[in-house]
């Protein structure tokens, strides 16, 4: 099996991680940080807002079982892409809506999905999701990995 990677920021990474982990064809989902300027950031540093990193989920998937376009659908269905730098009660740039792309094909598909949703007026407000080339993924601390699963929860409170 040959896997591909994707990376998404959609607010607090705990709920995003379990959402992607439950998609058939996703072989791994890890929480962490990306999109900022600090090497090896900690959760505390990211939460302070000084690193410019987003909380992200790094996804490995089998493209024969799930497509990147389907992952984009999951992303847009499971958070509010019209909220700038927050989701629910969580505020700050670390909670921004972001798609970090691996290559031109992912970038094209992400931008086309945003254009499609905008044209269809899927959301009442403009989509503020940023599309950026993927930077280094810094795996989050172990206690954040599978956080909800370890606590017997299926989703976040939001």
CA distances from 90 to 13, 26, 55, 63, 134 (A): 11, 26, 11, 32, 23
Catalytic one among 12, 29, 59, 98? 12
Tally of residues, the chain: 158
Show Cβ contacts of residue 1 under 8 Å, excluding neighbours closer than 6 positions. Answer: 27, 62, 64
Asked if 12 is an active-site residue, the reply is: yes
- Active-site residue set: 12
């Amino acid at each position: 099996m040959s896997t591909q990677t994707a990376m998404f920021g959609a607010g607090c990474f705990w709920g995003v991680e379990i959402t992607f982990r439950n998609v058939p064809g996703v072989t791994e989902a890890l929480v962490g940080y990306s999109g900022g300027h600090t090497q090896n950031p900690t959760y505390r540093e990211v939460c302070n807002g000084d690193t410019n990193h987003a909380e992200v989920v790094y996804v490995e998937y089998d493209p024969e079982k799930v497509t990147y376009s389907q992952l984009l659908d999951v992303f847009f269905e499971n958070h509010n892409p019209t909220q700038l730098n927050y989701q629910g009660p969580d505020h700050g740039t670390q909670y921004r809506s972001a798609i970090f792309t691996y290559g031109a094909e992912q970038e094209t598909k992400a931008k086309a999905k945003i254009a499609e949703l905008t044209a269809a007026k899927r959301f009442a407000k403009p989509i503020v999701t940023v599309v950026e080339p993927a930077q280094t993924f810094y795996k989050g601390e172990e206690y954040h990995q599978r956080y909800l699963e370890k606590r017997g929860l299926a989703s976040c409170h939001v």
